Amino acid sequence: MPKQKSHRGAAKRFKVSASGKVLRRRSETSHILTKKTTKRKRKLRKAALVAPGFEKTVKKMLLH
């Protein structure tokens, strides 16, 4: 049987940390940035954790 392939869309969007948590990028960072405050934009730069209920699904897509 051939090797299983990871979900390419998920592989580009999510990353599993060393402790096993799934990280994701934040939304609302691409355009219309003038009306957003500097503080808000700075917070959007940092990665966020995937919701606990969705974590299992993402790990399955990434074959972890």
- This prediction has a pTM of 0.84
DSSP structure string for 30-55: SS--TTS-HHHHHHHHS-EEPPHHHH
**Residue 13: which H helix or E strand, with range?**
helix 8-13
Residue 22 CB: number of other CB atoms within 10 A?
24
- pLDDT per residue rounded down to tens, the chain (64 residues): 899 999 999 999 999 999 999 999 999 999 999 999 999 999 999 999 999 999 999 999 999 8
Please tell me the predicted confidence (pLDDT) of residue 64.
87
pLDDT, residue 18, reads: 96
Torsion from C-alpha of 10, 14, 16, 20, nearest 10 degrees:
-90
Choosing among 2.40.50.180, 3.40.50.10800, 4.10.410.60, 1.10.10.10, the CATH entry for 8-61 is: 4.10.410.60
- Report the pLDDT value the prediction gives residue 32, as an integer from 0 to 100: 96
Q: Taking a C-beta distance cutoff of 8 angstroms, is the pair 18, 25 a contact?
A: no
